[in-house]
Structure 1
């Protein structure tokens, strides 16, 4: 019996079949006692995992031609605490994830060299997603935007930049909501596919500084949909994006949540560890990044799961309440949804119904 089958069998023995209607990704949030058990498991993992000097870690770790060793991008700590080694099917890819023992930030080390990052996106991704995949992605965009209220509910001609726009799935939604929207991406095929299907919005190839219309700044909204985890120099990138925001502007981020209960439960098998992910943020570590790059505040909203929020998964009321309560008092969900405010004007204008964490 394989490891996955053994885990499923054990789960059925312990919990029975009464949680089969719950999406697999949300089961850790509804089964009695699991949150506390996983938190204890996580603390024990941290306590038992050795912390290494940077030089010792380098000497014991293989370095590929496209990689480099880095220190913590948030606080500069050099010590390394090796935590995970995710791998794809049949080990088509693998990498190491370390934890900063000073601030708790999780990141890939060795990391991808910034000058080689474009190689990973220059080819492929040229097909335009359709059908169920496209519908699910746009549902996630809508749910995330709606979670932050008026800041994203209506464009009314406000300028929007989608950083890492891919094939334009979000840009289509943004133009429908009335935003004056543009996007940038490193994949020529994706940009071409996006522009074939967009009407008012437009996608450009390259970084923001490569496109005069984008480099001029003055954006009311910048969006990063599953992009932040792919940036090897987040301080530099977010600093540049902050400079592109107009007074009163906001930055919307959706990324995997490094404090996820699923990560604590499944370790290297967590679904947030995908092939090209580089950095893994939580509500505890992201404020440090935003503070260092000039933002005035940040608000987070819980992520209960797309199908749960869209009510396409019919959970018994008691399980629905338990799931939401566990997410709210615990990790915030498997995805991290954040709205960063450029300045006090942005906080005053868009933060009224949100719990805003002020950044000194």
Structure 2
């Protein structure tokens, strides 16, 4: 199948795009965005919708798993769409909610077994190939949401799911009074060895008195949202931990990505530990239901595009940006959630803020 697709692309586009990185091709090849969007609509329209009871009869349940209804709207019907697989034999199923369009893994991981996914030296992944250029992505995202991160002096920051402390290190440098939490004990150990003033803790926010007391001006979730099995409960907690005027930053894989529509089950966002997949259409539901007042987005064009180090010719760069903006299809979603009206007035800057009615 892959060779057939490659042959078809060769026939349509010739060799001109062979040297374009695979993650950028769908954005720069003429007409491809429209084709991928049409394919997605056809796939969704043709996917069978079934009651949860029927889905349970058809799908095996793992030891640490449970069946779910949609976390965003409560719909129990399912549209099975994808079956991602990967190294070490992992495999799971991704369904779509036919009511609100939310994508999620089903069966999902039971919350009390979530730590099982991170117990075996997860930090070796976070500090290996995955960590290359991570701080560059953090800086680019902080710049995209200026002035929130320009100066942290006198402001408290919580990095939820802090991993090996790569972002906490940057938060220190920008003057924030920063702390982090993570479920990987060896990641927390590595983070504290890296940090000068910030501190990382093992466990959940409520396990650490300094964090449970709240009063944070900024909470960050760097590639964490897709890992949360009970997002409504978590976001209610985040909202309670924010001080008046506080903001919550989210970087996560984008369920509207053109790459998802192009590569289906082979999409890079379907990793072993990802549980739920959000877009700018479904994230506002989560934020509204948990008490946030507004949300703003910053398109993600790709790190090399934004940094100016890409090898793409200028015409292709322009085409890529247009494709991302036209389709909301960047492979990552960057969002800033505002706790209240004070936060919107203080930090909106030039961002287009969508207000969320309770």
Q: Could you say whether these structures have the same fold, taking a TM-score greater than 0.5 normalized by the shorter chain as the test?
A: yes
Query: 2:290 is matched with which residue?
Result: 293
Aligned-pair CA distance for 1:331:
2.0
Give the one of 17, 20, 23 matched to 1:19.
17
Kept after mapping to 2: 8 A contact 1:209/1:215: yes
Give the one of 9, 16, 30 matched to 2:28.
30
Residues 185-236 of structure 1, C-alpha deviation per residue, up to 9 Å, x if partnerless?
Answer: 0111110111111101110010000000000000000000110000000000
Aligned-pair CA distance for 1:27:
0.8
Query: 1:150 is matched with which residue?
Result: 147
- Tell me which moved more, 11-20 or 295-304: 11-20
Q: TM-score, normalised by structure 1?
A: 0.96
Kept after mapping to 1: 8 A contact 2:127/2:164: no
Query: 1:113 is matched with which residue?
Result: 110
Give the one of 340, 348, 352 matched to 1:351.
348
Residues 102-133 of structure 1, C-alpha deviation per residue, up to 9 Å, x if partnerless?
Answer: 00000000000001001211331244966875
Give the one of 207, 224, 227 matched to 2:224.
227
Query: 2:317 is matched with which residue?
Result: 320
> Number of residues paired by the alignment?
357
Q: TM-score, normalised by structure 2?
A: 0.97
Kept after mapping to 2: 8 A contact 1:128/1:193: no
Residues 59-106 of structure 1, C-alpha deviation per residue, up to 9 Å, x if partnerless?
Answer: 1110011000010000000101101000003x6100000000000000
Alignment map for 1:117-196 (pairs within 5 Å): 117-127=114-124, 134-196=131-193
Alignment map for 1:193-272 (pairs within 5 Å): 193-272=190-269
Give the one of 300, 303, 314 matched to 2:300.
303
Structure-1 separation of matches of 2:315 and 2:204: 47
Structure-2 separation of matches of 1:6 and 1:177: 50
Query: 1:55 is matched with which residue?
Result: 53
Structure-2 separation of matches of 1:77 and 1:133: 35
Q: Does residue 334 of structure 2 align to residue 337 of structure 1?
A: yes
Aligned-pair CA distance for 1:317:
1.4
Query: 1:80 is matched with which residue?
Result: 78
Q: CA RMSD in A?
A: 1.5
Alignment map for 1:270-285 (pairs within 5 Å): 270-285=267-282
Kept after mapping to 1: 8 A contact 2:49/2:79: yes
Kept after mapping to 2: 8 A contact 1:184/1:207: yes
Aligned-pair CA distance for 1:40:
0.8
Kept after mapping to 1: 8 A contact 2:126/2:163: no
Structure-1 separation of matches of 2:103 and 2:236: 20
Aligned-pair CA distance for 1:12:
2.3
Aligned residue for 1:175, secondary structure, equals helix
Aligned residue for 2:70, secondary structure, equals coil
Structure 2, gaps ≥5 residues long: none
Aligned-pair CA distance for 1:332:
3.8
The structure-2 alpha-carbon separation of the partners of 1:52 and 1:132, relative to structure 1 and needing over 3 Å to count, comes to closer
Kept after mapping to 2: 8 A contact 1:123/1:189: no
